[in-house]
Amino acid sequence: MFEHRSKPLLPRRAFYARLARSACIGLLVIALALGIGMIGYRAFEPMSWVDAFVNAAMILSGMGPVSSLQTDGGKIFAGCYALFSGLAFLTSLGIVFAPAFHRFLHKFHLEEAKRDQGKDKDPKVSS
C-alpha cells in the first residue's frame, strides 16, 4: 500500500492526501461501529434513537453506558458491543496514524541509507 523504503519519500502534497484518506477511512470505521451500536440498542432495549446513540457513543469512546439496561438480550449485546468497540477504536487509530508512522520510518531509513553510502565513499573509514 505504501512505497518501499528504497523508493524516494512521497511528496508532501501526496502525503497529506494519503493522511486525509486514512482519516476518512478511520471515521468510516467509527461511524460503522456507532451505527451497529445504535441498531443493537434499538433492537434489544426499548430505547429511542437518541438514547441508543448516546449509549453507543459512550461505550465506543470507553466511558460506559449512560442508562441501565433492562433486558438480558440488551445486557449481552452491550457486553459484546463493548468488546467490539475497543477493537474498532484501536483499529481506527491504527488506520489514521499509519501514514504518519510510515513516513517517519521511511525518512529514518533514507537517512540511514545516506549515512551508509557516505561510509562507502570515505577512504578514511576502514571496515
Residues 41-65, mean pLDDT to the nearest whole number: 93
Q: What is the pLDDT of residues 74-114, one digit of tens each?
A: 999 999 999 999 999 999 999 999 888 888 887 776 666 56
| Alpha helices, H only, 1-127 | 12-44, 49-60, 72-121
pTM of the model: 0.75
Residues 28-38, mean pLDDT to the nearest whole number: 96
Q: Where along the chain do its domains lie?
A: 12-118
Please state which CATH number belongs to domain 12-118: 1.10.287
CA-closest candidate to residue 34, choices 51, 53, 20, 18: 53
The set of long-range contacts for 90-95, using a CB threshold of 8 Å and a minimum separation of 24, is 91/29, 92/26, 92/27, 92/29, 92/30, 93/26, 95/22, 95/25, 95/26, 95/29
Residue 54 pLDDT class (50, 70, 90 cuts): very high
